[in-house]
Chains A and B, each alone.
Chain A
Amino acid sequence: MTRLDLVIVGAGPAGLRASVEAAAVGLSVMLVDEGREPGGQVYRGSESGAFAGTAKLGSDYAAGAVLAAAFRASGVEALFGATVIQIEREADGSFCVSVATGHDKAVVVRARAVIAATGAQERPFPIDGWTLPGVMTAGAAQTMLKADGVVPDGPVVLAGTGPLLYLLAAQYGALGVAIDTLLDTAAPGNWRRALPHVPGFLTSRYAFKGLGLLGKALAATRIIRGVEAVSAIGDTRLSAVTYRKGATERTIPAHVLLLHHGVVPQINLTWSTGAQHRWNAARLAFEPVRDASGKTDVPGLFIAGDSGGIGGAQAAEAEGALAAFGVLRMLRGTAGDDDPIEGRWRHRLAVSLRGRAFLDALYAPRQSHLSPPDDVIVCRCEEVTAGDIRKAVRRGAMGPNQVKAFTRAGMGPCQSRMCGLTTVAIIAEETGLSPGDIGHMRLRAPVKPVTVAQIASLSEADERRTTESPSATRPRK
């Protein structure tokens, strides 16, 4: 049994930069990611995707290829196409990380520290008909663009709010892909609430990038602002979209509807470790509690990037570096943060986070989209509606765990990733309590469904390596 210094979960900007910095100071590191190559979602396809090596998706995306190359040069061993299903802390304080490496295979990796960089997911956007084939998230469509060079065909409608929605519209515009309609669902009062954050925004890189984005998206697309409700219409697949604005209701044909109203931290893995999380009322999301280096109240567990709180790719990369220095300090028992490299990353993080408060306020989703009408399905897996959840609350379910027991919301294969926040929003509305007091459904390991064959095959990663592939351990540079 070998014990590494560090296991890093997630190969997005945070995980890649953490790998590079940790390897540079001599730590033994393994990186695990569900994807097939470095990049995560934001830099997906940076190595072998349809736009790898081009600037067609913008300079921010092109930065991913540079980071992926730095990761490859670091010599850090990576398990791609692998899912961390459990992180356990042993009696001696080290970690036992269980990783599914195939549908019938799993290994155990042991390490003295873990950096969780599991990134973000899109905030659930439950509308009538959102389970129909043809309805997808904007992020899913962007992934198809980056990884496979594939775009929607036929009438396409984008609906929601948030920078990603406009980024996708701008990227489609630049590639000559027509979008029929963009339905902007941001609440009209958002501008007023965002005003106090304008000074911070003006000093941010978003100020120029944001205006450029809007210009490009506006030029190519019909944008309808102030949209209050959106429904997907169809029998076995999407055929039309109905939207309401004031007293006006219109139905437009659509083959593809792309939904988005923000991203939230992906917390299933971090929550399952027992690390403390709290509600962020400005970002309308649960976030792990961590210090400036990403250190949590679980000794040896660090969290970097969007999984700790949404900051975007550049902030995530800086946080990855800072977490690597935090791990080094913990393992070597060194004090202080005098390292000039660390100071440089701290500065980059501060610069990257400028303007976020403005964006959070400007693109905040509507309450009626966070807590939808009774007939809308909230839990996609178990097909539980908002009305089912309200009924359970009125019958005495005190919190999300009881709602889950009453209704099965959150009990399906996605393990509440698609319904957890909506369930909390509905309970908050019904009871008048804050989401922070209500809490989230308990998130437990295994954090993704496992097969019996995976459990049966669990073995030490280094035993497997010795028997199957003696040369897999690469020398560190």
Chain B
Amino acid sequence: MFRRLVEPAGHVTVTIDGRPFSVAAGETLSTALLLAGFAGLRRSARLGRERGPFCGMGVCFDCLVTIDGAANRQACLVRVRDGMAVQTGTRLPALADTVPE
């Protein structure tokens, strides 16, 4: 889906859903997740559909992941750190469909 055009200066290891991945040091977390093959990062509230990075700048909140135990962090606003543990696949709590019939 994406590829690296410029070789990074160094690498760090992050854990994504329990598996270790070598990623570019200082890279944006959402980019690292896409390069590691994680296109869908969470599920939508009502329909439970997969969502991935969309706006890349902290606006859309589709790239929410759990980072080192802290839930619903925007992956596009965070840089990877060595030893970072990331969990994907959260489904936000939904309220019932409130469109009046």
- Residues of A in contact with B (beta carbons under 8 Å apart): 34-36, 41, 48, 50-51, 81, 83, 103-104, 121-122, 131-137, 139-141, 143-145, 147-154, 175, 177, 236-237, 255-256, 266, 380-384, 388, 391-392, 395, 406-408, 412-414, 417-418, 448-449
Contacts and interface: CB of A to CB of B under 8 A. Distances in A.
A256 B35 CA distance: 13
A381 B54 contact: no
A34 B77 contact: yes
A379 to B, nearest CB: 10
B27 A140 contact: no
A4 to B, nearest CB: 25
Given A134-B39, A153-B2, A237-B50, A48 B26 contact: yes
B6 A50 contact: yes
B6 A149 contact: yes
Interface of B: 1-6, 8, 24, 26-28, 31, 34-35, 39-41, 44-47, 49-62, 64, 67, 70, 72-73, 76-77, 79, 92, 95, 98-100
A122 B76 CA distance: 16
B50 A133 contact: yes
Contact of B2 (A256, A383, A406): A256
B31 A408 contact: no
B51 A133 contact: yes
Given A149-B5, A150-B31, A41 B98 contact: no
A366 to B, nearest CB: 21
A150 B35 CA distance: 9
Nearest to A140: B56
Contact of B59 (A134, A237, A418): A418
Given A131-B44, A153-B1, 4 more contacts: A41-B57, A133-B39, A137-B55, A392-B100
Given A144-B31, A381-B61, A414-B61, A237 B39 contact: yes
B90 to A, nearest CB: 12
A236 B31 CA distance: 19
Contact of B45 (A133, A139, A381, A407): A381
Contacts of B76: 140, 143
Contacts of A147: 27-28, 31
Interface centre among A104, A407, A414, A448 (most CB of B within 10 A): A414
A50 B8 CA distance: 8
B70 A103 contact: yes
A408 B40 contact: no
Please name the 9 residue pairs, one residue from A and one from B, whose CB atoms are nearest each other, closest first. Answer: A140-B56, A149-B6, A133-B52, A133-B39, A153-B3, A50-B6, A413-B61, A143-B56, A103-B70
Contacts of B55: 121-122, 136-137, 139-140, 418
Q: Is the interface of B mostly helix, strand, loop or mixed?
A: loop
A121 B56 CA distance: 10
A83 B73 CA distance: 13
A13 B70 CA distance: 32
A167 to B, nearest CB: 15
5 contacts: A36-B79, A104-B70, A139-B57, A154-B1, A236-B50
Contacts of B8: 149
B21 to A, nearest CB: 15
A406 B50 CA distance: 25
Contact of A151 (B2, B40, B45, B59): B2
B56 to A, nearest CB: 3
Contacts of A34: 58, 77
Contacts of B64: 413
B70 A121 contact: no
Contact of A137 (B34, B47, B54): B54
A187 B86 CA distance: 43
Contacts of A412: 45, 61
Contact of A175 (B5, B24, B49): B5
B8 to A, nearest CB: 8
Given A122-B55, A383-B47, A414-B60, A256 B1 contact: yes
Given A413-B64, A414-B59, A406 B99 contact: yes
A388 B56 CA distance: 28
Contacts of B41: 133
A382 B44 CA distance: 8
A103 B46 CA distance: 25
Given A131-B51, A237-B50, A418-B59, A150 B72 contact: no
Nearest to A176: B5
Contacts of A122: 55, 59
A152 B46 CA distance: 30
Contacts of A406: 98-100
B54 A140 contact: yes
A115 B51 CA distance: 34
